[in-house]
Structure 1
């Protein structure tokens, strides 16, 4: 598609030439910019009538902007003088006695517009993943494939999707390719439904008849579930050797420690915490639904270790005059990147030859340890804020299970205290 900046670069080459806006419809309508000999730039609309191409001039640039030209094409009937395509104006045909034809249908949205609108939809629905979606699609589609980004969404087929994924696979990308595929599938699924949704405010048309991503298989061998559980030495290292990996006072270490102290709450939720979310006197974290994967508020009881970490973080945030507990180094109004703690753990793993644990293993470790110490799966799932899909939980059960979650956190706090001392209470008969 044309842009205003591109149009400025089109020069006089001594003869007429055309540049298409590439907004063709199934009806054969296309917006054309004709650069005349001498440099004059005219907007023309090309149509197909009786198997022949017909052109009508609708204005000149810059008097008529690109946006106005597009509006003139798909919002109103085409008016203007008709020419043959070689610059010679022909008399307009006499008006028929029948009703005039309807205006051409609205232009269809591009892939980029679809990705941006779906990102806004995620944001409006309070999904914390909307930023992750934006970064993924811009980094893996917009920058390496600007032609696909400008392509109409309805023109995308399985081969286009395959081209994008195959390119990143050739660069050595593995599991992230499956994440990209999942995001693209979700966006096109949105396009299939959104156009006919009576509650949708946007007037963009997509014209998508099937989801092209569905025809491209998921790479199953890159979806192996993790099995690693942290050792006592791994857990102790978070408080002993991990802080020594940073040369200055940064917040990545307390973020990793808080993830462990809260029994593996999601890093993307913790990094969004603000001072009002922390209730030290009540011993609770009140996570808003906007930071949760399930989109629902989540209350987390605090262990002794989490209380100590949060007390320091709240004090430092108030001293900085900001509400963010984990602000970005250069943008205090935003939270830090979630890749920073993962990178820190990776450097620690390489430097200290640990068992090979990663950030995502913290949650698995808590699930496993709490299960071995007698906490039921239902309470473990509620402790981690999982969406409960049974009918009772979805429609009727509004009990917060705060008492049960507090008891589970006491169990985790006891195990963590022992682990930091090198003892495993799972070996004690008291927990048998």
Structure 2
């Protein structure tokens, strides 16, 4: 019986280890419990760490308000994605092991603590490791502390299934991709040194976390056989001065969205290259942004960079499915970009008959007034006819035909009257003569 249980324990262990190897570890910490110095209404502290950048926690309007969160694991924290709707603030990383507690101030790169939204590298003074399991944000001065999202990042590694090839291919896993900031890849070249990572397919990306020795670098994201040129340049950056020989950390944001399956890092100066860690932020399906927040609930899917919805659930339209389709749309469905109805409802119109009785006439009404409203709110850029203008032309043609028929009837009536008048005139003069 004991052998039987051990056998199944070994199977469980194998599958857990195997899946961990496939999936890799998470690049971010998991929030366990959040607290704040005071709570304004229902805007509780947990909202500041709920993976939704549209919601926020909020304190009362008081002096030195603060917010904190306990994390599920303890590790080195080097990067933060923070959205704070407040003035200047301070951020601390706390390490509590049950015996003693240490608190280290996190100084954003460039000491910029007034930016509303930023993916930032956290530099700790006095050569502190920055290892912790608790984050504290304290507002400087008066006012409420409004916190949309806090996301700390550690050093992790990509899923093995995503990695197709890399420069140091003789290693089981590249020293620059193993999630360990102690190990590193060192180039053989002292001139025009470079390093590459080949992924299993093309991904849309904009943020790359890098830990590297000082120097001047270019980072490229390219597709297959493309060359490294200005069109594939993600970002260039430098570490010089006293940090030249140190390990430096950088949260890179590409100049624009990049699509590709290969990341290349090139050194611009004539020295060897030492890379400790490289981590491109590639969000799973239905997540977006540097913190991989959840897509809006109304989205079926969204851009992994901006969160703009590719397709909406139900009768919604707009970049974030924030608008409801017009009520006169058939089945409440409309174009998800413009809000223009794909089909129009058939309406029942009651008319008064000559006998005084009500008769119901079914008419298919395209509601031209609604079309006019939509035309005034949507610019038609090209000279080509759209289905909207074509539909209006049809209506105008129908109106034109109706007018022609009316004019014909009037003209015929006048001719009949003239003919009758001429007949009576001829008869009158004939009798008189």
TM-score by length of 1: 0.23
Greater helix proportion = 1
TM-score by length of 2: 0.23
Which has the greater radius of gyration? 2
Greater strand proportion = 2
